[in-house]
């Protein structure tokens, strides 16, 4: 991966090489950080870069910080504006990924959340596909369980909790799969390693509820709204058993990085016909238009980078 040219670091935009922390940094030692992930989509025709739902992402980012007792005074709008400035300086004219990080920056020994300094950094890098086979992924049920809300809240993007994700992902890839599904401690489906999950069964679109140890995904929220408004589907947020997944008609993963990834095999069993299903296909098409600013109904979700003012395109 090419490194970015600039970073937002300690309150200003600096050359990336100057955005350095010491090895004693609290977050590096104890995982006491929270991060975000926002996509920027390049529209060639309009020569414009669009951010997808930056305010929603930054609200969740700040909420993750609240879980970590962060006392920073940033607002979602302020962070969005810094991101726009950073992107203009970086001059990216291709699909990209923005990574904000809120971290306990003190260089001290001692595990805790309070009485520590919360710093925020932001960088942007060019970014393509996250799941390569996103039109027909083969996934497995991980032998790892999702972190539990009473141990490490999955609803926040807390850096330390992503060791759980790393266990899940490495074992899935080493096993020859594209991704993994993760069960929670009750044995119900929680999510993918870094994606939420949806299942079409008997004409209803089902997804695990936010009380089943999932990240409250922005793409999940987007897909729920689109499935209802654009496809007229009934959407149910309910606990899902493992074997329902084996029997379902369509399965897909959603996430900023994974976008809408069709899953066509689970543990060597075909899902439905073994090909991407019609609901997944339609949602992917609608989503792709929206994120690139080609659907006038949903321009309130996107934000143009290369305009003098940070206003959503109308
Ligand atoms: N679950 C986990 C564990 C994730 O890391 C992500 C990626 N942020 C998601 C779900 C999807 O969330 P979003 O749609 O907001 O990117």
Q: What does the DSSP assignment read for the chain?
A: -PPPSEEEETTEEEEGGG----TTBHHHHH--EEE--EEEEEETTTTEEEEESHHHHHHHHHHHHHHTT------HHHHHHHHHHHHHHHT--S-EEEEEEEEE--B-S---SSS--EEEEEEEEE---SSTTTTSEEEEEEEEEPPPTTTS-TTS-BGGGHHHHHHHHHHHHHTT-SEEEEE-TTS-EEEESSSEEEEEETTEEEE--TTSS----HHHHHHHHHHHHTT--EEEE----HHHHHH-SEEEEEETTTEEEEEEEETTEE-TTSS--HHHHHHHHHHHHHHTT--GGGGGGEEESSSSS-----
- Section 117-129 average pLDDT: 96
Task: Answer with the residue of higher pLDDT: 71 or 196.
Answer: 196
Of 76, 95, 126, which marks where a domain is finished? 126
- Is residue 313, in this structure, part of any structural domain at all? no
Q: Is the CB of 256 under 6 A from ligand 1?
A: yes
Give the atom of ligand 1 at the shortest distance from the alpha carbon of 221: 14
The question of whether 157 is a catalytic residue gets the answer yes
32 shares a domain with 56: yes
- Is residue 304, in this structure, part of any structural domain at all? no
- Is residue 222, in this structure, part of any structural domain at all? yes
154 shares a domain with 56: no
- Section 213-232 average pLDDT: 98
Ligand 1 mean position to 92 CA, how many Å? 23
216 shares a domain with 85: no
Q: Is the CB of 54 under 6 A from ligand 1?
A: no
- Section 160-172 average pLDDT: 98
- Section 15-41 average pLDDT: 98
**pLDDT single digits (tens) 102-115:** 999 999 999 999 99
**pLDDT single digits (tens) 252-308:** 999 999 999 999 999 999 999 999 999 999 999 999 999 999 999 999 999 999 974
Ligand 1 mean position to 164 CA, how many Å? 13
Number of domain units in the chain: 2
- Is residue 298, in this structure, part of any structural domain at all? no
Nearby residues of 236 by Cβ (< 8 Å), 6 or more positions away: 204, 205, 206, 207
Nearby residues of 17 by Cβ (< 8 Å), 6 or more positions away: none
Q: Is the CB of 4 under 6 A from ligand 1?
A: no
Give the atom of ligand 1 at the shortest distance from the alpha carbon of 196: 10
- Section 37-66 average pLDDT: 97
pLDDT band at 132; cut points 50, 70, 90: confident
- Is residue 232, in this structure, part of any structural domain at all? yes
Claim: this prediction has a pTM higher than 0.85: yes
* Residue-number span of the structural domain to which 69 is assigned: 6-126
Q: Is the CB of 196 under 6 A from ligand 1?
A: yes
121 shares a domain with 184: no
Give the atom of ligand 1 at the shortest distance from the alpha carbon of 57: 15
Q: Is the pLDDT of residue 313 over 80?
A: no
279 shares a domain with 144: yes
d(CA 264, CA 197): 13
d(CA 291, CA 304): 11
pLDDT band at 60; cut points 50, 70, 90: very high
Q: Which of 256, 259, 260 has the most ligand 1 atoms within 8 A of CB, as the residue to mutate?
A: 256
Q: What angle do CA 117, 53, 59 make, to 5 degrees?
A: 30
Which pLDDT score is estimated for 53? 98
d(CA 152, CA 67): 10
Nearby residues of 193 by Cβ (< 8 Å), 6 or more positions away: 142, 165, 168, 169, 172, 179, 180, 182
Ligand 1 mean position to 29 CA, how many Å? 24
Which pLDDT score is estimated for 129? 87
Dihedral of the alpha carbons of 9, 12, 14, 17, in degrees to the nearest 10: -20
CATH of the domain at 94: 3.30.470.10
Q: Which of 34, 37, 131 has the most ligand 1 atoms within 8 A of CB, as the residue to mutate?
A: 37
Q: Is the pLDDT of residue 2 over 90?
A: no
Q: Is the CB of 206 under 6 A from ligand 1?
A: no
- Is residue 301, in this structure, part of any structural domain at all? no
Which pLDDT score is estimated for 164? 97
Q: Is the CB of 40 under 6 A from ligand 1?
A: no
- 302 in Cβ contact with 52 (< 8 Å): yes
- Is residue 285, in this structure, part of any structural domain at all? yes
Quote the mean pLDDT of the chain: 96
d(CA 105, CA 273): 51
Task: Tell me the C-alpha to C-alpha distance, in Å, between residue 244 and each of 232, 247, 248.
Answer: 23, 5, 6
Of 64, 91, 126, which marks where a domain is finished? 126
201 shares a domain with 98: no
Q: What is the 3-state secondary structure (H, E, C) of 223-271?
A: HHHHHHHCCCCEEEECCCCHHHHHHCCEEEEEECCCEEEEEEEECCEEC
282 shares a domain with 152: yes
d(CA 273, CA 32): 44
Ligand 1 mean position to 52 CA, how many Å? 14
- Section 175-179 average pLDDT: 98
120 shares a domain with 174: no
122 shares a domain with 148: no
CATH of the domain at 181: 3.20.10.10
Of 75, 105, 126, which marks where a domain is finished? 126
Q: Is the pLDDT of residue 173 over 50?
A: yes
Ligand 1 mean position to 182 CA, how many Å? 13
pLDDT band at 311; cut points 50, 70, 90: very low
Name the closest-CA residue to atom 9, ligand 1: 195
Ligand 1 mean position to 196 CA, how many Å? 6
154 shares a domain with 285: yes
Share of the chain above pLDDT 90, in %: 95
Which pLDDT score is estimated for 134? 94
Name the closest-CA residue to atom 6, ligand 1: 194
* Catalytic one of 89, 93, 104, 157: 157
Which pLDDT score is estimated for 189? 98
96 shares a domain with 70: yes
Which pLDDT score is estimated for 314? 37
pLDDT band at 198; cut points 50, 70, 90: very high
273 shares a domain with 178: yes
- Is residue 97, in this structure, part of any structural domain at all? yes
């Amino acid at each position: 991966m090419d490194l970015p040219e600039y970073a937002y670091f300690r309150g200003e935009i600096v050359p990336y090489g100057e955005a350095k922390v010491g090895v004693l940094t609290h977050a590096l030692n104890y995982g006491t950080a929270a991060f975000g992930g926002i996509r920027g989509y390049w529209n060639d025709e309009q020569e414009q870069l669009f951010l997808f739902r930056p305010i929603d992402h930054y609200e969740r980012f700040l909420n993750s910080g609240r879980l970590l007792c962060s006392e920073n005074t940033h607002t979602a709008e302020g962070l969005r504006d810094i991101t726009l400035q950073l992107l203009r300086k970086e001059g990216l004219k291709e699909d990209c990924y923005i990574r904000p990080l809120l971290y306990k920056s003190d260089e001290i020994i001692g595990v805790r959340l309070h009485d520590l300094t919360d710093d925020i950094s932001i960088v942007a890098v060019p970014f393509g596909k996250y799941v390569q086979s996103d039109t027909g992924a083969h996934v497995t049920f991980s032998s790892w369980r999702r972190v539990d809300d009473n141990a490490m809240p999955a609803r926040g993007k807390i850096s330390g909790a992503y060791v759980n994700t790393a266990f899940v992902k490495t074992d899935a890839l080493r096993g020859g799969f594209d991704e993994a599904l993760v069960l929670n401690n009750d044995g119900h489906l929680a999510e993918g390693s870094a994606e939420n999950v949806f299942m079409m069964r008997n004409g209803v679109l089902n997804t695990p509820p936010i009380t089943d140890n999932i990240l409250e995904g922005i793409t999940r929220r987007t897909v729920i709204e689109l499935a209802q408004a654009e496809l007229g589907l009934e959407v149910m947020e309910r606990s899902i058993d493992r074997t329902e997944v084996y029997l379902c008609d369509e399965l897909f993963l959603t996430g900023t990085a994974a976008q809408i990834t069709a899953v066509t095999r689970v543990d060597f069993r075909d899902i439905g016909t073994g090909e991407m299903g019609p609901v997944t296909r339609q949602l992917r098409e609608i989503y792709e238009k929206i994120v690139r600013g080609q659907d006038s109904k949903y321009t309130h979700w996107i934000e143009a980078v290369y305009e003098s003012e940070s206003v959503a395109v109308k």
